[in-house]
Amino acid sequence: MAGRTVVVYAGARDPSYVVKVTAVAALSGLLFGFDTAVVNGGLLLLRNQFHLTNLQAETAAGALIAGAIFGAAAAGWSGDRYGRRKMLGWTAFLFAVSSVGAALPTNILQFEAARFIGGVGIGIGSTLAPIYISEIAAPSIRGRLVALNQLAVVLGILGSYFLCWQLARFGPGSWRWMFGAGLVPAIALFAGVFFIPESPRWLTRMGRAAEAQKVLANVAGSAEASREFREIQTSIQQEQYSRLQLRSPELRKPLLIAITLAMLQQITGINTVLYYSAILFSEHMRQQTSSAIGANIAIGLVNVAGTVLALLWLDHIGRRLLLLWTSAGMAFSLFVLAGLFALHHPSFVLVTVSVLVYVMCFAIGLGPVTWVYISEIFPSTVRGRAASVAIVALWIVCFLVTTTFLSLLHSVGPSGTFAFYAAMSVGTFVFVYHELPETRNKSLEEIGMQWGLHREK
């Protein structure tokens, strides 16, 4: 989408440079969060406008996720072929088209088509933005910077909740403004892409050594850039020599870890809260529409607070320990939530507190750490394609959870539904304890060696 970068390379380390670049890339995360969560507030009004059944409401919410599956599937090969930066430009374009289209439909099929297009953008952006950030960041801050993308996601979620809450007062047609507002950050991302460089690892793999060295010099300084460039070259040569492919035995374990972690992130139920909490509070807690939408603000604030804590702790405490503690916290809060809904008249305050504890634990652990792991455990020659496989799995499970939640509530009730998600959180704890290695403070090349990916055949 965008032409070659217009960044002026100084060849000397600029401490703020990589943060600025990350901030632009993270705009993709902001759009990701906004577009996925705006349906939470808009769906209540959309449901009334088009007289939707539960199944139709689930389909309307799931259209974006269906598009994300296709986008994530295409992101791997397109990012490896055309570059991370160029595909982020296309992401912004698809977001813009979707925002306009979702604001102007005259029937639900038009709305779903527009949301599907936005989902394709989300699938591409959610795959490539963390990869891009991980490939440009130093090992000591990589976790925090990739988590910065997740912070942008939760800020987008919070922004959508606040916007929906404010716009809901303008009547039944305000949902059009809710969905159309995504055009503003889409334009910002499209403009920002022209001012960031391509990934140095992708440039090296494409034979554009001089450009790669210039980017590395801005990130780490000239001396460190030379050392890191040699490591990248050696890594790529060894990977190519071993004819590394997605079906290679060496990739089997990291690929299974990434896919399983991606699926667990979704099957523990986070998007049932992020997408449907307004309906849950309105229909099962007998709250008014404005109060139900307003309760989302507290969820969004806790989501942001938890992600900020993850930013502070990821590169100090480590990925694995954060996941262990927070998956245990998710399981506990979800079992409490299931118990509360088993009561005839559950307390709205206690239900809300349980939801907030669950969201806080997710925001510190599975939320950001999943994306960090996926972005850093694969070798550069297949990183885009391998991450794409894991993220396709993530979006498939997200689609299944999103399009079955209301039906599940109707069939087994809130208590049985949240007990199931609690059991999945217990499964997450067991998986992390037995299978996940620690990757904190390791270079991408060192992580590859951990799987035996750089040994000569």
- Sorting pLDDT into bands at 50, 70 and 90, what band is 112? very high
pLDDT tens readout for residues 207-257: 898 898 888 888 777 777 788 888 888 777 765 544 456 667 778 888 999
pLDDT at 11: 43
pLDDT at 293: 66
pLDDT at 276: 74
Is 36 within 8 Å of 275 (Cβ atoms)? yes
pLDDT tens readout for residues 92-101: 999 999 999 9
pLDDT at 7: 40
Task: Give me 307's structure tokens.
Answer: 């992600």
Q: Does residue 10 register a pLDDT over 80?
A: no
- Among 45-49, 375-379, 396-400, the range with the most confident prediction by mean pLDDT is 396-400
Is 1 within 8 Å of 84 (Cβ atoms)? no
197 contacts: CB under 8 Å, gap ≥ 6: 5, 7, 9, 21, 85, 136, 211, 214, 215, 218
pLDDT at 301: 92
Say how far apart CA 314 and CA 244 lie, in whole Å: 30
**DSSP sequence for 405-450:** HHHHHHHHHHHHHHHHHHHHHHHHHHHHHHHPPP-TT--HHHHHHH
pLDDT at 231: 80
Q: What is the pTM of this model?
A: 0.77
pLDDT average, residue stretch 121-134: 89
Average pLDDT, the chain: 84
Task: Give me 201's structure tokens.
Answer: 């690892």
Q: Token match 């999945």: residue? A: 424
Distance set, CA 312 to CA 28, 148, 197, 386 (Å): 22, 10, 26, 28
Q: Is 274 left (phi over 0), alpha (psi -120 to 50) or beta?
A: alpha
pLDDT tens readout for residues 162-214: 898 888 888 888 999 999 999 999 999 999 999 889 988 889 888 898 898 88
Distance set, CA 331 to CA 247, 404, 424, 429, 436 (Å): 34, 21, 8, 9, 19
H helix or E strand, kind and range, residue 216:
helix 209-220
Q: Token match 């000397």: residue? A: 12
| Three-class secondary structure of residue 89 per DSSP | helix
278 contacts: CB under 8 Å, gap ≥ 6: 40, 41, 43, 44, 289, 292, 293, 295, 296
Q: Does residue 9 register a pLDDT over 50?
A: no
Say how far apart CA 239 and CA 258 lie, in whole Å: 19
CA angle 317, 20, 206 (to 5 degrees): 90
Say how far apart CA 203 and CA 210 lie, in whole Å: 9
Q: Is 207 left (phi over 0), alpha (psi -120 to 50) or beta?
A: left
Q: Which CATH class is domain 17-439?
A: mainly alpha
CA angle 187, 88, 362 (to 5 degrees): 95
- Among 42-51, 54-63, 72-81, 326-335, the range with the most confident prediction by mean pLDDT is 326-335
Q: Does residue 91 register a pLDDT over 90?
A: yes
pLDDT at 108: 92
Say how far apart CA 127 and CA 234 lie, in whole Å: 25
Distance set, CA 34 to CA 41, 136, 178, 293, 427 (Å): 11, 25, 10, 15, 29
Sign of CA dihedral 135, 2, 33, 154: positive
H helix or E strand, kind and range, residue 399:
helix 383-402
- Sorting pLDDT into bands at 50, 70 and 90, what band is 282? low
198 DSSP assignment:
P
pLDDT at 247: 67
- For the chain, how far is it from start to end, CA to CA, in angstroms? 39
Say how far apart CA 225 and CA 315 lie, in whole Å: 22
pLDDT at 372: 87
H helix or E strand, kind and range, residue 164:
helix 139-167
Q: Does residue 51 register a pLDDT over 90?
A: no
The structural domains of the chain, with segments of one domain joined by +, span 17-439
Is 445 within 8 Å of 376 (Cβ atoms)? no
Give burial (CB, 10 Å; 0-12/13-18/19+) of 452: exposed
CB-side neighbour CA atoms (13 Å) of 361: 26
pLDDT tens readout for residues 340-379: 988 878 888 888 899 999 999 999 999 999 988 888 888 7
Say how far apart CA 387 and CA 375 lie, in whole Å: 7
pLDDT at 289: 58
- Among 57-61, 233-237, 338-342, 446-450, the range with the most confident prediction by mean pLDDT is 338-342
pLDDT at 4: 43
Is 189 within 8 Å of 1 (Cβ atoms)? no
Task: Give me 269's structure tokens.
Answer: 């139920």
